[in-house]
Amino acid sequence: MKAPSHPASGRRPPARDNRPSAPAQKSPPGFNARLLAADGLDRVLRAATPLEDAMQDMPGLEARDRALAFNILATTLRRLGTLRAVIRPCLTKGLPTSAPKLEAVLLVGAAQILFMDVPDHAAVGLSVDLARS
């Protein structure tokens, strides 16, 4: 049986698509905490923003994620010289000027791998996600 046409226009309505819509893309667990840490580090290093002010973004972040972000940021700042010494030799061409926050992402990822109890695969995977965002 054909769908009835619209009385005024004479056109048939479009066929219904009964497929479920794709679920909204959700950030992986811990992504927002690392995003806050990388953004905060970038503000501290490039704009000389005080640490407390750098952590003011994302007010809806859960307390657990905010604590993780602060811990990552504090560890990165505490070990900044060591982290830069580890990363710089790997950057034979230096950091691209087109990605100004890349250094913060690399430093945050390296801090998690070298100085925190974060599984390497989680730190690497989320750092890649941060670099792409």
Tell me the pTM.
0.76
Taking only the tens place, the pLDDT of each residue in 43-77 is 999 999 998 888 887 677 889 999 999 999 999 99
Distance between CA atoms of 127 and 133, rounded to whole angstroms? 10
Share of the chain above pLDDT 70, in %: 80
41 located within any domain: yes
Read off the DSSP letter of residue 89. Answer: G
CATH number, domain containing residue 41: 1.10.940.10
What is the structure's pLDDT at 28?
A: 84
87 located within any domain: yes
Domain that holds residue 98: 31-132
Split into its structural domains, the chain has a count of 1
6 located within any domain: no
9 located within any domain: no
